[in-house]
A and B are shown apart, each in its own frame.
Chain A
């Protein structure tokens, strides 16, 4: 009978590159930047690594396929390197591989590293992906903003929200994230913005304007994991352990069956409730200290607040406007600035989210430090509202 992952694995060290338009660095340099910080934080050397999981999505504009690029860039000691790819959940998948390897007893110490080099495309916005030989011949046009913007019209229709009220709440979300990112030396975008600027920004995909969309950036993040026993024996104090790791993947019902109303993420609700069960959390609104959710677009963050059961159904706008999710609110969301300020180097984002949760739980988050957090949640989302993958990871102080 499976017993879940709770408290079986601890984070030994983490690293995170500076995210942004890193013209001077390729993916190789970004990987080394995150890795060397993680090794130093873990106080080990590379010979102690047993296996690695490597996350990157757009191999065609980055390092190519397979596990080789990580091993070569980091000069790993000929250990196993597995490339994992699940679009925007790739970082969480790499972490999951490393964590499961340690929990199974197959490895003592494992590395998870995610990287994405997006700025070499030469144009703004996420590059398109090839959808496969059949989908290429019939699937509707799509871009990330246009696909996620679908949520807005469906959410408005379902909850009877006016265009103006929705736009105002979305603006509050982006203003909040920018205020947090301004305090983060690793973030790409570090200037506060105003609600007026967000509401009047150029339109990208109705109703999402420029400030409703996360940036497109380069970056890498890494995590080294081990068992709590090994961590303590190596002298690590104030352990942060994994409490839950869950993924849920669409099976076509939202896109092909009339049971889904277009206004929420079916997979987030499933992954979220499974994660809470695994972690032993019964009332998320009261028990989650802080969370990083996948704010590729402000509307995604809004519905995710409900999908994670922190705001009630239809209640996210009220909570947002009341400051519930602000840095000084009851459950700070995107305390590091989120995808909004870091941008979304796809392979790295899942691990970057964990990096902030780890710093906060270790009391090392500097200007952004929250008072005594005990539970941090990360949420990675892939795809589009009608077909997606949701990855939820919960970490917390040990014991």
Chain B
């Protein structure tokens, strides 16, 4: 993969003999991610989400979150990009984020944690709300506390859901997403969001059929229909 523009970047990928082992240990193949997602069919939302129309976002959207501290982005890259937390080797508690002092009130051991990935850990909702006040591109903003079956918890944004769809106990899967975009400085921040676990067959019917199957229908639709 190469990109050219004010210089040239090239990234070379090579599939090694480790691939099958990695593939089998993961549940997040591209196919699975796509089948888990909710396809947005509203064209106006598409334009809005991609900043292709100028929107009045309200004064709360105007807050400047300041320049992303890149030294922090680098230092905490395993947390931010890999959803890496910690496991205390004194008490076994899984915790996110990883820290120098164990979060378990009965432990508090220092420098006792090894990295532990939360990416594939099963989780469920402990508490949630649908927030109509805070700025979000896709209101209301759903967020809440999730607890991981094996231990650990944190507050997370929820996405790919409709109001009324989640409750205490809803099973959650973590997905890697864009967290926010600093449009003033042209910088994208990435993190993870919680998505309700769905059996692929039960993905809502909004997912359209393949484009090639729609073309014959389109020719017969009257002009001006929305």
Contacts and interface: CB of A to CB of B under 8 A. Distances in A.
A258 B152 contact: yes
A364 to B, nearest CB: 38
Contacts of A140: 143-144, 154-157
A206 B129 contact: yes
Contacts of B136: 141
A97 interface: no
A267 B80 CA distance: 29
A368 B152 CA distance: 48
B60 A123 contact: yes
Interface string B150-175: 01111111000001000111000000
Contact of A128 (B63, B127, B163, B191): B63
A334 B31 CA distance: 56
Contacts of A72: none
A141 B60 contact: no
Contacts of A123: 58-60
Interface string A250-279: 011101111101100000000000000000
Q: Which 8 A-B pairs have the closest CB atoms?
A: A146-B131, A149-B129, A150-B127, A133-B69, A143-B134, A157-B168, A256-B103, A123-B59
Interface string B58-100: 1110010110110011001001100000000000010111010
Interface residues of A, number: 47
Given A138-B80, A153-B167, A255 B132 contact: no
A98 interface: no
B126 interface: yes
A130 B226 CA distance: 42
A154 B103 contact: no
Contact of A122 (B59, B73, B103, B163): B59
Given A136-B69, A204-B131, A258-B153, 7 more contacts: A138-B97, A138-B191, A145-B129, A150-B144, A253-B105, A257-B93, A257-B105
A27 B134 CA distance: 26
A384 B145 CA distance: 11
B133 A125 contact: yes
Contact of B129 (A134, A150, A251, A255): A150
A127 interface: yes
Contacts of B69: 133-134, 136-137
B2 to A, nearest CB: 29
A384 B141 CA distance: 17
Nearest to B103: A256
B140 interface: yes
A206 B130 contact: yes
Interface string B108-143: 000000000000000000111111111010001101
A138 B131 contact: no
